[in-house]
Structure 1
Amino acid sequence: MNESQAQKFDVLIVGAGAAGLMCAIEAGKHGCRVALLDHAERPGKKILISGGGRCNFTNRHTRPENFLSANPHFAKSALARYTPSDFLALVERHGIAWHEKHLGQLFCDRSASDVVQMLLRECAEAGVRIFCSTEIETVSRDDAFHLRTSRGEFHAPALVIATGGLSIPKMGATGFGYEVARQFGLKIVEPRPALVPLVFSSADQARWCDLAGVSTEVVAAIGRQRFTEKMLVTHRGLSGPAVLQISSYWREGEAIEFDLAPKMDATAELRAPQARRESAALRTSLRTILPHRLADRWMEVYSPSGWSTAALAEWEKRLHRWNVVPETTEGYAKAEVTAGGVDTGELSAKTMESRVPGLFFIGEVVDVTGHLGGFNFQWAWASGAAAGRSIAATAPLPA
């Protein structure tokens, strides 16, 4: 297709997920001609499955400390300029009923589709043109960006990559965003699965995995990172919020320390004067702290070396410092997000523009990964808004 037949816009956005939709809205409502392209048959597919189908769309307590990145300061600017209150105001303006769960997590009362429909209405009002089922064949640049696609050619002076990471490939996740970054000479922080269940070694699977379905509150820790939430035993290892959270910080070969009895003392009664120091008494005490099946198995695997005060103290210490070295993770198929991505050193924290003029990266494709609980959505909204506003501020006025 020649130049005269190409569709021309002020900005092309590749990826119609949370970040791409927000970027399109912000650029469009400020007068930009926006084309939003996605290979999926409809926008917002990952939004629809989020939060158990109810979309944990943000978290009231969003802070930069809730994000993992090689540059822990990078996310501050965008997060400060588009806050959870800003997105909540949008939700309320569209009359979407919502509720707050523990730790500041906000969910739709009805369905995640309410959020998708809200974003699509905003896009329509802003004049955004959405092209689904569109495969990107080539990306090139001279005085503008040129996309050759399965639906013809698109040209624009600005290109935004909002294609996400490698997580949940069955939903269409690809490495397209990383490929574009490499094509233009930008650095990538090695991607890896994050917010992902962990897989035990074969020995630990034999020891623990017949307890699949057992859950208890723990503190999971690696270094200074600590998460106090539920841990779930699975058929292959460990999951649950505490495990998903700590998985983002775990590297192969590292130990994760679990406190199975936070702020509790399983041997206190046995250490009292005239107490019966025996397995039955210790088991009874442990069953008041842990689910019975887990307590019984713990007693089988880690019985006290003796009944002296020192031996009980050593046993108690293990309960609070259970070191587990996972063999691996469940991989991208079960990872909620991808850690790593486009190196933030290549991007402006204020605008999300790369050192290649006119080329922007937003959302999960960037090396910014949120904790579990709505933080990754807030990064999508904030980074998308930052890029959309920046593009609108520099785009030529419509003729």
Structure 2
Amino acid sequence: MDYDTLIIGAGAAGMMCAAHAGGRVLVVDHARAPGEKIRISGGGRCNFTNMHCDANAFISENPHFAKSALARYTQWDFIALVEKHDIAWHEKTLGQLFCDVSAKEIVAMLRTLMQDAGVDLHLQTEVSHFEKSPDGFKATLTRDGRTQQITARNAVIATGGKSIPKMGASGFAYDIARQFGHPITELAPALVPFTFPEGRFAAISGVACPARIAADGPAFDEALLFTHRGLSGPAVLQASSYWTDGQAITVNLCPQTDLSSILKDKRRSDGKKALTTELAHHLPTRLVEHLNSEFDLSGRLGDLPDARIDALTAALSQWRLTPGGTEGYRTAEVTRGGIDTATLDSKTMQSKIAPGLFFIGEAVDVTGWLGGYNFQWAWSSAMAAARSLMADL
């Protein structure tokens, strides 16, 4: 037996698992460097977890599945690990935690942990064949033009989902899962911008404002950004995880403002003012100009009856838009759906079909909100598998 554990995938989940699994561990990845998604995340600062992380911030066909792993290795555990390695961090909005200096510090921390644990790391290595063997698992690896067969008692699949294929993302984890009889739930790009036909918002590309946006799920109060291709910004990315093709989304452009009362008050005190002039105090001017083509914003405040004000403010708070699609896996931060959790042990992430085989991270049907939740799932699911592997030594 060459190794106790073979881990395929040197991303966040794979490296975290390798660092804590114990025994003889080999990590393989086809990339030139480990942790590339970590490196580019958060604008190069890595939004590595969220202070408010709990199972309610995750989407899955089984909403209870993630609870065990998240409870047994929490955001506070990862924060303690970061602080132990002297990585300075700060909180942005909504509990999002970022490195003060660079995401590379998280990658370096994980590499150090792996080195201290004696983990072997083989980069630019392809897995061309993977199968069950009498004593565990057997894999055929190709590296520098040389082919090698290795065996391991246990195997962990940590190759992520299909998002950002230019970084090497693929459906490898799903192929392995199907090979061993694991169903795959419906896959879709998530945390991804919406697109609209015919450059609908091209004239106001770059305009941003606070908004409340919902698809078929909770409403999110964050920034909305209009782009040449459609809609982006944190509120849009969040809603996209709950969107299905052909479905309308609801946009509230004044989520924190009682615009109806404001317009009625201004009607009494400044009735000669144009409606568009007053709206420009509450929304970006270019957006107001665009909305004039969507809704009738003509006239002066003093000429507006209550019914028209109420109808207008209702339209601005319940603006229904139907995206033509999304920008797809090319820009999606994560993949929604994945390996059916009904076939995995929630405490260990081990397959119920093939003992010794584990699936962790984004490949599993657990998708977090924007803001560090998906990294926390990577850490938590990795530790669930690692503790099981350690106990099995």
Q: TM-score, normalised by structure 1?
A: 0.93
Q: Which amino acid letter does the alignment assign opposite residue 65 of structure 2?
A: F
Look up the match of 1:313: 310
The CA distance in 1 between the partners of 2:262 and 2:156, in whole Å, is 62
Q: 1:304 to 1:163 in 2, by over 3 A?
A: same
CA positional deviation for 1:197: 0.5
Q: Are 2:72 and 1:81 equivalent residues in the alignment? A: yes
Look up the match of 2:180: 184
Q: After the TM superposition, which residues 281-292 of structure 1 pair with which residues of structure 2 at under 5 Å, given as runs?
A: 281-292=274-285
The CA distance in 2 between the partners of 1:253 and 1:223, in whole Å, is 12
Q: Which amino acid letter does the alignment assign opposite residue 229 of structure 2?
A: R
Look up the match of 1:325: 322
CA positional deviation for 1:223: 4.1
Look up the match of 1:168: 164
Q: 1:53 to 1:181 in 2, by over 3 A?
A: same
Aligned to 2:287, the other structure's residue is in SS state: helix
Q: Are 2:105 and 1:104 equivalent residues in the alignment? A: no
Q: Are 2:385 and 1:387 equivalent residues in the alignment? A: yes
2:126 to 131, 135, 148: 135
The CA distance in 1 between the partners of 2:203 and 2:337, in whole Å, is 34
Q: Which amino acid letter does the alignment assign opposite residue 282 of structure 1?
A: L
* Residues 82, 382 of structure 1: 8 Å contact kept: yes
Aligned to 2:362, the other structure's residue is in SS state: helix
| Count of aligned residue pairs for this structure pair | 382
The CA distance in 2 between the partners of 1:222 and 1:166, in whole Å, is 22
Q: Which amino acid letter does the alignment assign opposite residue 285 of structure 1?
A: E
* Residues 97, 372 of structure 2: 8 Å contact kept: yes
Q: 1:285 to 1:133 in 2, by over 3 A?
A: same
Look up the match of 1:159: 155
The CA distance in 2 between the partners of 1:339 and 1:224, in whole Å, is 14
Q: Which amino acid letter does the alignment assign opposite residue 95 of structure 2?
A: G
1:145 to 137, 148, 151: 137
The CA distance in 2 between the partners of 1:348 and 1:316, in whole Å, is 49
Look up the match of 1:47: 38
Q: Are 2:2 and 1:8 equivalent residues in the alignment? A: yes
Q: Are 2:236 and 1:243 equivalent residues in the alignment? A: yes
- After superposition, the C-alpha distances for 1:17-60 in whole angstroms (9 at most, x for unaligned) are 000011111102xxx11111111111111111011011111111
Q: Are 2:113 and 1:119 equivalent residues in the alignment? A: no
Look up the match of 1:198: 194
The CA distance in 2 between the partners of 1:159 and 1:171, in whole Å, is 23
Aligned to 1:245, the other structure's residue is in SS state: helix
The CA distance in 2 between the partners of 1:84 and 1:224, in whole Å, is 24
CA positional deviation for 1:209: 1.8
Q: 1:370 to 1:112 in 2, by over 3 A?
A: same
Gaps of 5+ in 1: 1-6
Q: Are 2:23 and 1:26 equivalent residues in the alignment? A: no
CA positional deviation for 1:271: 2.7
- After superposition, the C-alpha distances for 1:179-209 in whole angstroms (9 at most, x for unaligned) are 000111110012110000000133xx33x22
Aligned to 1:225, the other structure's residue is in SS state: coil
CA positional deviation for 1:282: 1.4
The CA distance in 1 between the partners of 2:137 and 2:217, in whole Å, is 44
Q: Are 2:331 and 1:338 equivalent residues in the alignment? A: no
Look up the match of 1:348: 345
The CA distance in 2 between the partners of 1:9 and 1:233, in whole Å, is 51
* Residues 304, 311 of structure 1: 8 Å contact kept: no
The CA distance in 2 between the partners of 1:318 and 1:62, in whole Å, is 34
- After superposition, the C-alpha distances for 1:95-144 in whole angstroms (9 at most, x for unaligned) are 11111111111111111111111101100111111111110000111321
The CA distance in 1 between the partners of 2:173 and 2:345, in whole Å, is 17
Q: Are 2:247 and 1:254 equivalent residues in the alignment? A: yes
The CA distance in 2 between the partners of 1:343 and 1:297, in whole Å, is 44
Look up the match of 1:211: 204
CA positional deviation for 1:308: 2.3
CA positional deviation for 1:173: 0.5
Q: 1:276 to 1:79 in 2, by over 3 A?
A: same
Q: Which amino acid letter does the alignment assign opposite residue 83 of structure 1?
A: T
Gaps of 5+ in 2: none
CA positional deviation for 1:299: 2.4
Q: 1:172 to 1:310 in 2, by over 3 A?
A: same
Aligned to 2:274, the other structure's residue is in SS state: helix
Q: TM-score, normalised by structure 2?
A: 0.94
The CA distance in 1 between the partners of 2:193 and 2:58, in whole Å, is 19
* Residues 219, 258 of structure 1: 8 Å contact kept: yes
The CA distance in 1 between the partners of 2:31 and 2:308, in whole Å, is 60
Look up the match of 2:28: 37
The CA distance in 2 between the partners of 1:267 and 1:301, in whole Å, is 18
